[in-house]
Structure 1
Amino acid sequence: MAPSLEFEAQNVEKALNAASTKLKKSKENLKYEIISYGSSGIFGLVGRKKAKIRVIVEADKEQPEQRVDVRKKQAETISADESRLKEETIVEEAGQKGREVSPEDAADRFKEPREKGTRALRKIIDCISQDAEIVEIKVNQESEVIDYRVSGGESSRLIGKRGQTLEAIQYILEKIVNQKLEKRIRVRVDIEDYLKNKEIKLVGMAEKLARKATKTGRPVSMGQLNSHDRRIVHIALKNNTGVRTQSQGHNFYRKLIIFPKQKKTDM
């Protein structure tokens, strides 16, 4: 099978341009197959996929003498690049010695995505609530998490049945905030302390079912939970020596099972 390279871009045309530049061939002379045409997703934010093509790389027909000469030039180029890289590394390390990242600099890294998230959250609330003008949004920074707390307005409409609207808002907002970031930032949205109160109830239920599993010696299910709720239960029972927790399934909502640990018997 002939060697090949794969290229990704927003669409097939841009992927071909990238291949043409990389291989130094015109697009008309490229032999390729389209793996995926890509998709713009929902509002260009969620479910977006890049186009992908596979290009056949044909070996250049050249004389043995030419190949030797090319290899020699490549070796010289690599050697020169390595020397330059070492010099740049030494200069960079010398410049970085003694320089520490202040808390202000670390917080500033979140400034733009934090403000972007605030603007997006305000627009989402404007589309859902009729009393959006009286809604207050407070933003807190906790380590690698941007925490948005919403109060006022039609909170029940923003939360939705069983918190499903709030869940959707948080999902979309996290996609918007992380749209162009290399390192993912966690986003949390709470409305009128709904999530805070729900967490208290979840922990209480988890501890109650853990006692039941330990007493009966049988696994107990907490039902279908989203990733945020599953994380709360896993953390709540992490130090419980009598049980272990496990998520089952592959969908967004997964069943969480509490298993009793088998007691060690003396031989």
Structure 2
Amino acid sequence: MKNVVVTGKTIDEAVRKGLLELGVGEERVKINVLEQPSKGLFGLIGAKDAKVELELIPDAMEEAILFLEDVVRAMNLEIRIERKSTREAEELHLHGPELGMLIGRRGQTLDALQYLTNIVANRYSDKHVRIVLDAEQFRERRRKTLEALADRLAERVVRTRKEVVLEPMSPQERKIIHTQLQHHAKVRTFSRGDEPNRRVVIVLR
């Protein structure tokens, strides 16, 4: 947590100096007046400036990005983080070489990092923050792969008349399968099992 102590002829002047030093607006700080200004004898002798302490209020997304930067630095990776706000979530897109290490097998490492990033962000927010972490459009590519998989397996269920049980998936990936087949005329889906081994099941209607 960053604090600065500044002085000025008035409290307002000291606060302005502190805000300038921190590079933020007044809504991002807590102000603690350490010393009131005094004019001194005849306005000259013993005059004292105001002294204030400004405490920077952490921003949830800034803290999330700092956390990610620390992680990739520890992994000796050079990555650029791009932030994008949508109606559903705050998105952080990672760009750079060697992103496979951050994505992991079928996105498992990326999912784990996303989970930790959400924990960090919500520690510094008084309302729920949802962060989606992506790396070079992996989420979009994975979504298309899962949608195609859902269609193929639905055809298999119709052809063989036997249920198909998919491998364990994250809640987000299971939702993609359910959504892709929710209006299918001949099959339906449901989930079975407990986390982290919960699976999608495709059966005839």
TM-score when normalising by structure 2: 0.66
Within the alignment, does 1:253 sit opposite 2:200 as a pair?
Answer: no
Deviations along 1:65-90, whole A, 9 cap, x unmatched?
xxxxxxxxxxxxxxxxxxxxxxxxxx
Percent identity among equivalent residues? 26
Q: d(CA) in 1 for partners of 2:174 and 2:139?
A: 13
Q: d(CA) in 1 for partners of 2:165 and 2:131?
A: 28
Q: 1:147 aligns with which of 88, 91, 94?
A: 91
Within the alignment, does 1:120 sit opposite 2:120 as a pair?
Answer: no
Q: 2:103 aligns with which of 159, 162, 169?
A: 159
Deviations along 1:26-48, whole A, 9 cap, x unmatched?
xxxxxxxxxxxxxxxxxxxxxxx
Moved over 6 A (4+): none
What secondary structure does 2:90 align onto?
strand
Q: Is the helix fraction higher in 1 or 2?
A: 1
Q: d(CA) in 2 for partners of 1:183 and 1:253?
A: 30
Q: Which has the higher contact order (CA 8 A, sep 6+)?
A: 2
AA aligned to 1:209 is L
AA aligned to 2:84 is N
1:217 corresponds in structure 2 to 161
Q: d(CA) in 1 for partners of 2:166 and 2:84?
A: 31
Deviations along 1:213-250, whole A, 9 cap, x unmatched?
12322211121111121111111112223221111111
After superposition, residues 90-101 of structure 1 pair within 5 angstroms as: none
Q: Please say if residues 124 and 169 of structure 1, whose CA atoms lie closer than 8 Å, have aligned partners that are also in contact.
A: no
Does the C-alpha gap of structure 1 residues 182 and 211 become closer, same or farther in structure 2, counting only changes over 3 Å?
Answer: farther
Q: d(CA) in 2 for partners of 1:168 and 1:158?
A: 10
* Matched positions, count: 148
For structure 2, which runs of at least 5 residues remain unmatched after alignment?
A: 1-57
What secondary structure does 2:166 align onto?
strand
What secondary structure does 1:168 align onto?
helix
AA aligned to 1:114 is M
Within the alignment, does 1:198 sit opposite 2:142 as a pair?
Answer: yes
Q: Please say if residues 144 and 185 of structure 1, whose CA atoms lie closer than 8 Å, have aligned partners that are also in contact.
A: no
After superposition, residues 176-191 of structure 1 pair within 5 angstroms as: 176-181=120-125, 183-191=127-135
TM-fit CA distance, 1:153: 3.2
2:51 corresponds in structure 1 to none
AA aligned to 1:191 is A
For structure 1, which runs of at least 5 residues remain unmatched after alignment?
A: 1-110, 262-267
Q: Please say if residues 60 and 123 of structure 2, whose CA atoms lie closer than 8 Å, have aligned partners that are also in contact.
A: no
After superposition, residues 1-267 of structure 1 pair within 5 angstroms as: 112-128=59-75, 130-132=76-78, 135-181=79-125, 183-261=127-205
